[in-house]
Amino acid sequence: MGKRIVIALGGNALGNNLPEQMIAVKQTSKAIADLIEEGHEVIIAHGNGPQVGMIQKAMAELTRSDPEKYIPCPLSVCVAMSQGYIGYDLQNGLREELLDRGINKGVATVLTQVEVDPLDPAFQNPTKPIGAFMTKEEADKLVAERGYNVIEDAGRGYRRVVASPKPQSIIEIESIRDMVQAGLVVVACGGGGIPVYKTEGHHLKGAAAVIDKDFASCVLAQQVNADTLIILTAVEKVAINFGKPEEQWLDELTPDQARKYISEGHFAPGSMLPKVQAAVEFAESAPGRSALITLLEKAKDGVAGRTGTAIHQ
């Protein structure tokens, strides 16, 4: 009996630029097709760090070249652009791989908005650097004219920082569910989703923020009633005492064990920590649900219980 699986692709599955992405997507598609061939329903989410950074920098340079003609592109629009072109490569790569295996299955990308709370404390403490490095004069101008938050970044110049609020719900979830029910492979919540919040009436306003891809994938997995959330990363298993002589790789984790290790500081913020937190949240969200953290090329073996770190109650 196949499972309904949400896969959260890490940055290593997509490369750092356009040529790398086209190569990486071929390998990524093979790993995903392995799961589909086994009879699983698959929904794909992905990061967009290098891609949205590239778009943001290009837009900033355009604004610098002719500030009278061009205005800065909102971050929410840059996220939407990244969803479009990553989805374009992913759905074509996966379609080709499936057809090569004799599997005639549609693949579609959903431009996905994710609701955040405008009162989320993260908006009071923006910490995520984005975009190009600036001189102090350029940074001061953006602070004065646009109210940006900026930081000095390790002696390399100044950068804008934005909030990373927690995802609340997925705006297009009904469309995603319908497409999954119709048998399509769906790519959604790219880059954590386009962050939006509700204003007057039914209007959705883009937020100057980035949503963590792993937390967004957790919400997506819950809202499509997935059996398993797979978070793919650069290591085969989760470890405690990582990089130390007493390093220990973990086959399984209960939520309570994971919280203990989190409190002891075993998982790095911005790296393994959000992955473990998202995995725990999903595993506890309903009976029978589990999460898996492993390498992209080990996804099939991980679902079969042969590798990776399984998180379940």
- The residue annotated as part of the active site, out of 11, 53, 157, 206, is 11
**Cα distance between residue 232 and residue 294, in whole Å:** 5
**Cα distance between residue 160 and residue 177, in whole Å:** 36
What string of DSSP letters covers 100-126? HTT----EEE---EEEE-TT-GGGGS-
- The residue annotated as part of the active site, out of 87, 190, 213, 237, is 213
- The residue annotated as part of the active site, out of 3, 12, 57, 149, is 12
- The residue annotated as part of the active site, out of 48, 87, 128, 308, is 128
Per the annotation, the verdict on 275 as an active-site residue is: yes
Per the annotation, the verdict on 225 as an active-site residue is: no
Report how far apart, in Å, the C-alpha atoms of 132 and of each of 18, 47, 60, 152 are. 18, 19, 7, 12
Per the annotation, the verdict on 69 as an active-site residue is: no
- The residue annotated as part of the active site, out of 275, 298, 302, 308, is 275
**How many helices (H) and strands (E) in the chain?**
9, 17
Residue 130 DSSP label: E
Contact yes or no for 176/170 (Cβ under 8 A): yes
**Residue count (the chain):** 313
Residue entry with tokens 């940055």: 11
Strands 290-295 and 252-253: unpaired
Per the annotation, the verdict on 198 as an active-site residue is: no
Per the annotation, the verdict on 11 as an active-site residue is: yes
Dihedral angle sign, alpha carbons of residues 152, 157, 158, 164:
negative
Q: Which two tokens stand for residue 180?
A: 């999954």
Q: Which residues contact 270 (CB under 8 A, 6 or more apart)?
A: none
**Cα distance between residue 12 and residue 10, in whole Å:** 5
Catalytic residue numbers? 11-12, 128, 213, 275
